[in-house]
Amino acid sequence: MKKVAYYKGCLASLSAKELDISTRALAPKVGYELLELESVTCCGAGDIHEAEPDYYLHLNARILSYAEATGCDTLMTVCNVCTLNLRQANYQLQIDTGLRERVNDNLEQVGVPRYLGTVEVKHFLWLIAGESFAELQAVAHKGLKGLKVAPFYGCQILRPSKLMGFDDPDKPTSLERIIEACGGEAIDYPAKIKCCGFPIIQAREDTALAELIQPIEQAKEAGADAMVTPCPLCHLSLDAWQSKLKKKTGKDFQMPILHLSQLVGVAAGLTDSELKFRRHVVSVAPVVEKLSV
């Protein structure tokens, strides 16, 4: 069992608790002991990065420092935005010793351990599609029984590719390999690598909904029974805002949206109390019923 530091971020702590619960239940089955970071804050999402870049850097350096203090070499995330923010900050701190020393001096004044730059940030998707793929195949014994699943990556786990570095940003395959390893059928469609519209929903709702409808509509037309995403922000958009799409377009997709840990969790035999499908806005019952046949 490999120990990894676990940073769940804001959404998995609050509105998407089902992501945290299913991740905790699944992790030991695929070979990971999670050491949760408790004395940490939000990564700043995209807002603080743009408005106060030095403040953003300190926020993320603090998270990286506490991850390093666990003795782990890996900081595991479950959110695309957290992954991008932490990897960007980590890259800056690792290549610029002077910057790292300045940030460390500031954080040390409030009791934070000095960060040496030894941690690597990895999304849970990358771990189970990479180094623990064999464990994933072994635990997915219940299978998805041919369930047609449309993968939705979102944009921030793929780009900038030189910084993220795991998947091909134009032709990713990690979610497809996981779906098929769990006995499902991966549905291909063009919008799977596009933005979900979340970052602009407050400022330009019409534009955000125009982004959002593309993956859901294409997945539906391609015959998907459900969609899966590795990002809680994408999940929020795809799941909760189908009602906004219905009001605006009259189209009622009723497309179930699963977190990655829930999809694999179904195949691994997690219980209802570990999957927490009842927390979803769009019912997952059609998926459960199909798998029960």
- 151 pairs with which residues across the strands? 228
Q: How confident is the model at residue 51 (pLDDT cuts 50, 70, 90)?
A: confident
Among 58-62, 170-174, 199-203, 273-277, the minimum mean pLDDT is found in 199-203
Q: What pLDDT score does 293 carry?
A: 56
Backbone angles phi, psi at 166, to 5 degrees: -100, -45
Token pair 């029960």 is found at 292
- Which of 78, 98, 124 is the C-terminal boundary of a domain? 124
Torsion angle, CA of 101/3/227/255, rounded to 10 degrees?
-100
- 121 pairs with which residues across the strands? 75
Q: Do 272 and 145 reside in the same domain of the chain?
A: yes
Backbone angles phi, psi at 202, to 5 degrees: -75, -40
Annotate 9-46 with DSSP letters as a single string: TTGGGTTTHHHHHHHHHHGGGGTEEEEE--S-----TT
Query: What would the pLDDT profile of 242-275 be if each residue is shown by its tens digit?
Result: 999 999 999 999 999 999 999 999 999 999 999 9
Number of domains making up the chain: 2
We report the CATH number of the domain holding residue 287 as 3.40.50.11810
- Which of 124, 156, 189 is the C-terminal boundary of a domain? 124
What is the span of the domain harbouring residue 71? 2-124
Q: Do 143 and 273 reside in the same domain of the chain?
A: yes
We report the CATH number of the domain holding residue 14 as 1.20.1050.140
